[in-house]
Amino acid sequence: MDAHESVTELIGNTPLLRLRMPGGGRGPAVYGKLEYLSVGGSVKDRIGLRMIEQAERDGLLLPGGTVVEASSGNTGLGLALVAATKGYRAVVVVTDRVSGEKVAALRAFGAEVVFKPAGVPREHPEHPFNAAARIAEETPGGWCAGQYDNPANPEAHYLTTGPEIWRQTEGRITHLVSCVGTGGTISGTGRYLKEVSGGSVQVIGADPASSVYSGGDGRPYFIEAAGHWRHPETVEDVWPRSYHQDVVDRVLPVADRDSVLTVRRLAREQGLLVGGSSGTAVAAARQVAAEAPEEAVVVVILPDSGRQYLSKYFDDTWLLRLGFLDGDESGARVGDAVAATVRERPVPYLNGRTTVADALAALQNRRDGGEQAVLPAGPCPAGPGRRPTAPELAGSVVLDGLRAAVETGRAALGDPVGDHLAAPLPQFGSGEPAEAALAELADSGVDTAVVLHDGHAVALICSAELRACLPVGKSRRP
Ligand SMILES: Cc1ncc(COP(=O)(O)O)c(C=O)c1O
């Protein structure tokens, strides 16, 4: 019979699909490697299997043991599915920004999901990496997979993804394009392809624009699982050992808007429902193809399915609220009010480690008539059903509130201001209708909001500025 004995035999061996690229068939062929067709739904099934089998060989994981991992979801899923088939318990530590669909899938495989806050520095004991290591240590028979530093991660791709692509393209691949998260995919696949081609295959990383891998400033971004952001309070920024930079020829930055619009188009125009990092990778592949000779063969890794992100990249309201899309309604938009604001009010950031005394001084210097607010960077949770918020906005500091805290002894001048944050200010996407934003701002109890464009805070705005951009009849309303 043509049948398999174990679900793990259905990991990998994913197909290549020729992607339609701009240019109507002219230019190099670009093939997507459809990792969502692996049995667990992502590229990470491969490393789930490899890391567990290696740990068994090394005697680190014994029968009845517990597999622990900090994961944005896919590696957790890959590990959970392999653990399920082998009778291990699985504990997956995720941040509270991970999509709800991924969490539900983890639980479906019987994994326990532990939530940790997304916006903490690497050194913080509650950082998912530290929490996972601690759980593994405290659990009898516990083993932490540690994909960021585990050699079995790139090795899985060296042994499977690379040879598959070489075989599928009959050795004609000239360019590999892959996102870089832990770096395992690009390092293992790229190393194999470079070796087998005598060094001729070009290996190109695709990276969210503010990720540090492509030289960004480390601000958080909206593409799950790709890139590397840096919390402003992280003291030492450690890059994963699974990322072998020597294999990578260059890393291209891709704006979140480009990634998001690309995955939406792949679904609508090519029937391909893939996740946000696939959008990043395809956008980079488009650039690679535009610069490559006609006879080049570009392979781009599409790590997972769009089904996990239906409430994000494929949800118009989510995108509208973060400033990635404009609303359908005619009439003034929040972004018009920003453009019309005579006095520019850029978002004043403070680092959470700044002392209360320095924060007060900065706020006093900036006082310019409107309610004043400063927003330390660092992700904050976006719970289901709530408005999505920019990951870089952890909270707000309002001059009067901070002064009152000092006067009443709740805050000391030497305290880090991050310990005295007020709730984040209301946030509106630049394409949202101004009138609705005005009404929501009135209900919020504060008079200052943050305007988001492409997921980032671009301006502070108050109700008078919003009202001023409405047609005369409406602007007169209180
Ligand atoms: C959806 C998605 N895209 C991209 C990546 C990056 O792959 P790697 O960690 O191998 O660099 C991951 C890794 O978790 C992922 O889950």
Looking at the structure, do residues 20 and 168 belong to the same domain, yes or no? yes
- Measure 151 CA to ligand 1 centroid, in angstroms: 16
Q: Is 225 in the pocket of ligand 1 (CB under 6 A)?
A: yes
Contacts of 146 (CB under 8 A, 6+ apart): 69, 132, 133
**Nearest atom in ligand 1 to 181's CA:** 11
Q: Is residue 335 in a domain?
A: yes
Looking at the structure, do residues 254 and 160 belong to the same domain, yes or no? yes
Reference 30, options 257, 295, 265; nearest CA is 295
Element (H, E) at 177: strand 175-179
Q: Is 72 in the pocket of ligand 1 (CB under 6 A)?
A: yes
> Tell me, what's the pLDDT at 478?
45
Chain Cα centroid distance, residue 156: 23
> Tell me, what's the pLDDT at 73?
83
Looking at the structure, do residues 301 and 188 belong to the same domain, yes or no? yes
Q: Is residue 362 in a domain?
A: yes
Residue 325: C-alpha distances to residues 131, 264, 267, 270, 380 (Å): 36, 12, 17, 21, 22
Tokens of 469: 């951009």
Q: Is residue 447 in a domain?
A: yes
> Tell me, what's the pLDDT at 276?
96
Structural domain ending residue among the three candidates 274, 289, 307: 307
Q: Is 276 in the pocket of ligand 1 (CB under 6 A)?
A: no
What is the span of the domain harbouring residue 59? 44-144
Looking at the structure, do residues 202 and 263 belong to the same domain, yes or no? yes
Tokens of 87: 């009778």
Protein residue with least CA distance to atom 7, ligand 1: 181
Looking at the structure, do residues 29 and 157 belong to the same domain, yes or no? yes
Helix (DSSP H) and strand (DSSP E) numbers for the chain: 16, 15
- Measure 361 CA to ligand 1 centroid, in angstroms: 43
User: Which CATH number is 38's domain given?
Assistant: 3.40.50.1100
**288-325 in b/e burial notation, b at 16+ Cβ within 10 A?**
bbeebeeebbbbbbbbbbbebbeebbbeeebbbbbbbb
User: Rounded to whole angstroms, how far apart are CA atoms 179 and 303?
Assistant: 8
244 exposure class (CB count in 10 Å sphere: 0-12, 13-18, 19+): middle
Q: Is 226 in the pocket of ligand 1 (CB under 6 A)?
A: yes
Select from 71, 180, 277, 313 the residue to mutate for testing ligand 1; criterion: most ligand atoms less than 8 Å from CB: 277
Looking at the structure, do residues 336 and 440 belong to the same domain, yes or no? yes
User: Which CATH number is 341's domain given?
Assistant: 3.10.580.10
User: Rounded to whole angstroms, how far apart are CA atoms 399 and 355?
Assistant: 14
User: How crowded is residue 118: how many other Cβ atoms within 10 Å of its Cβ?
Assistant: 23
Residue 425: C-alpha distances to residues 72, 252, 390, 463 (Å): 27, 33, 11, 13
> Tell me, what's the pLDDT at 60?
97
Q: Is residue 344 in a domain?
A: yes
**Nearest atom in ligand 1 to 153's CA:** 10
51 within 8 A of 154, measured Cβ to Cβ: no
Looking at the structure, do residues 357 and 265 belong to the same domain, yes or no? no
Select from 35, 43, 229, 300 the residue to mutate for testing ligand 1; criterion: most ligand atoms less than 8 Å from CB: 43
Give tens-digit pLDDT for 2-29. 999 999 999 999 999 999 998 777 889 9
Looking at the structure, do residues 253 and 385 belong to the same domain, yes or no? no
Q: Is residue 189 in a domain?
A: yes
194 carries an active-site annotation: no
User: Rounded to whole angstroms, how far apart are CA atoms 24 and 6?
Assistant: 42
**Nearest atom in ligand 1 to 147's CA:** 9
User: How crowded is residue 60: how many other Cβ atoms within 10 Å of its Cβ?
Assistant: 16
Looking at the structure, do residues 320 and 437 belong to the same domain, yes or no? yes
Structural domain ending residue among the three candidates 77, 110, 144: 144
Looking at the structure, do residues 430 and 369 belong to the same domain, yes or no? yes
**Nearest atom in ligand 1 to 47's CA:** 10
Q: Is residue 429 in a domain?
A: yes
Q: Is 180 in the pocket of ligand 1 (CB under 6 A)?
A: yes
> Tell me, what's the pLDDT at 112?
96
**Nearest atom in ligand 1 to 276's CA:** 1
Which pLDDT tens digits describe the chain residue by residue (478 residues)? 999 999 999 999 999 999 999 877 788 999 999 999 999 999 999 999 999 999 999 999 999 999 999 986 899 999 999 999 999 999 999 987 777 878 899 999 999 999 998 777 788 899 999 999 999 999 999 999 999 999 999 999 999 999 999 999 999 999 999 999 999 999 999 999 999 999 999 999 999 999 999 999 888 889 988 999 887 777 788 899 999 999 999 999 999 999 999 999 999 999 999 999 999 999 999 999 999 999 999 999 999 999 988 988 999 999 999 999 887 777 899 998 887 654 555 667 777 788 899 888 887 776 554 445 555 554 444 444 567 777 777 778 888 888 999 999 999 999 988 888 887 788 999 999 999 999 999 988 888 888 999 988 888 888 888 998 887 665 444 4
pTM more than 0.85: yes
Residue 174: C-alpha distances to residues 131, 293, 329 (Å): 41, 10, 46
Structural domain ending residue among the three candidates 144, 159, 176: 144
Give tens-digit pLDDT for 383-401. 445 677 777 777 788 888 8
> Tell me, what's the pLDDT at 469?
85
- Measure 179 CA to ligand 1 centroid, in angstroms: 7
> Tell me, what's the pLDDT at 473?
61
Torsion, Cα of 186, 187, 189, 192 (10° steps): 150
Q: Is residue 393 in a domain?
A: yes
Tally of structural domains, the chain: 3
Reference 101, options 325, 350, 276; nearest CA is 276
- Catalytic residue selected from 44, 102, 194, 312: 44
Looking at the structure, do residues 359 and 248 belong to the same domain, yes or no? no
Reference 192, options 207, 173, 179; nearest CA is 173
- Measure 226 CA to ligand 1 centroid, in angstroms: 5
Q: Is residue 244 in a domain?
A: yes
Looking at the structure, do residues 336 and 455 belong to the same domain, yes or no? yes
- Measure 178 CA to ligand 1 centroid, in angstroms: 9
- Measure 385 CA to ligand 1 centroid, in angstroms: 26
132 within 8 A of 148, measured Cβ to Cβ: no
Give alpha helix (H) positions in 17-161: 45-57, 74-86, 100-108, 128-138, 152-156
